[in-house]
Amino acid sequence: MDPDRDVDIQSGSRLIQLTSLTEWDHATVTGTLTVPEDLVNYVFPDDEQDDPPGTLFIAIRCQQTILRDREIVKDDSVPAGEYPFEFDLDRAMIRGGVELQPYLVRADDRSEVDGRYATDIGSRLASSDEWLLEIDDTDLPEGLLRPHIENFSEMSELPSGDHLHYLDMSDAERPTLYLNGDHSAIINVMESRGSTGPDARMRDAIYDLVEASVWPQLIIRTATDINQEGETRYDWQDDVLDLFHDKLYDDADVDEAAMNLREDVNDEDQLVTLMQHIDDAVQQKTEPPEQLINLLEEGLK
Please indicate whether residue 66 or residue 124 has the higher confidence score (pLDDT).
124
Residue 233 amino acid letter: R
Quick one: pLDDT at residue 181?
92
Half-sphere exposure of 281 (CA within 13 A, CB side): 29
For 26, residues 6+ apart whose C-beta sits below 8 A from its C-beta are 1, 88, 89, 90, 91
- How far apart (Å, rounded) are the C-alpha atoms in residues 277 and 110? 33
- Domains in the chain, start-ordered, CATH in brackets? 15-134 (2.60.40), 148-300 (no CATH)
What's the whole-model pTM score? Answer: 0.65
Whether pLDDT at 243 is above 90: no
What local confidence, expressed as pLDDT, does residue 301 receive?
56
From the CA atom positions of the chain, what is the Rg in Å?
21
Q: Range with the lowest mean pLDDT among 68-72, 79-83, 181-185?
A: 68-72
Within 10 Å of residue 193's Cβ, how many Cβ atoms? Answer: 11
Q: Are 79 and 15 in contact, with CB atoms under 8 Å apart?
A: no
Q: What is the rounded distance in angstroms from the CA atom of residue 142 to the CA atom of residue 146? A: 6
Residues 56-80 have a mean pLDDT of 88
Residue (of 299, 295, 140, 173) closest to 239 by Cα position: 173
First-last CA distance in the chain: 44
* 249-268: pLDDT as tens digits: 988 999 999 999 999 999 99
pLDDT, tens digit, 9 for 90 and up, residues 133-185: 887 654 434 456 678 888 999 888 888 778 999 999 998 988 889 999 999 99
Mean pLDDT (the chain) is 84
* 114 band by pLDDT with thresholds 50, 70 and 90: low
Residue from 234, 238, 247 nearest 279 by CA: 247
